[in-house]
Amino acid sequence: MSQKLTVLYCRTSTSMQSTGLEAQERALIEYCRIKGITNYKIFKDEGVSGSKASRPSLDAMMELVRANRVSSVIVYSFSRFARSTRHLLDALEEFRSRNVAFTSMSENIQTDSAIGLALFTIISAISQLERELVSERVKNGLKNAKAKGRKLGRPKKRNSDLILELHTQGMSHRKIAKLAKCSTWSVFEELKSRLESKTA
């Protein structure tokens, strides 16, 4: 089996930043020289916005990671690598699950160090707290709307009275759906909700 690679990643937002890309590349190569890393491959996205979900070189790099051919990922900075905090955390989680070390030069963070791992844990906890706060706000908003008598969800488009009338005539769900101009599932849901309201 071939030796696993160290992959280096750098990016610029516009093609006019070519010198910036060269500077990032030089810094990454120098970092490898100092650390004695020789088996590396460079991935560069030039003139690609960081907000884009798909970046050709980053995608190619992640394919190598997922093929278990990478031992570590070194990036110039978080901002050059991740498009958002969520993207960064997802990537770090994937690297950790595949036993791939991650280093950001500018922030001087290494996930295979005690401090780097602690920072990752803190960032993950903050992100989880943020998700829980958003979820709590949504739940409170729904409760408030319900308390004020507002109907939640999409408005019902089926003709309830017609469905019930046709059902009392002994028609099949399919025929009722055709005449009421709705799906058979809507017919089933309407009859089910009426039955539940009677037994409640």
Supply the residues annotated as catalytic: 13
Inter-axis angle of helices 85-97 and 56-66, to 10 degrees?
30
Residue given tokens 């409760």 in the structure block: 143
For 116, other C-beta atoms within 10 Å of its C-beta total 19
For the chain, how long is the longest CA-to-CA vector?
A: 85
Residues 6+ apart with CB under 8 A from 46: 11, 12, 15, 17, 18, 21
Q: 142: part of which helix (H) or strand (E)?
A: helix 114-147
Q: 133: part of which helix (H) or strand (E)?
A: helix 114-147
End-to-end CA distance of the chain: 66
CA 48 remoteness from chain centre: 19
189 to 61, 99, 146, 159: CA distances (angstroms): 48, 49, 22, 12
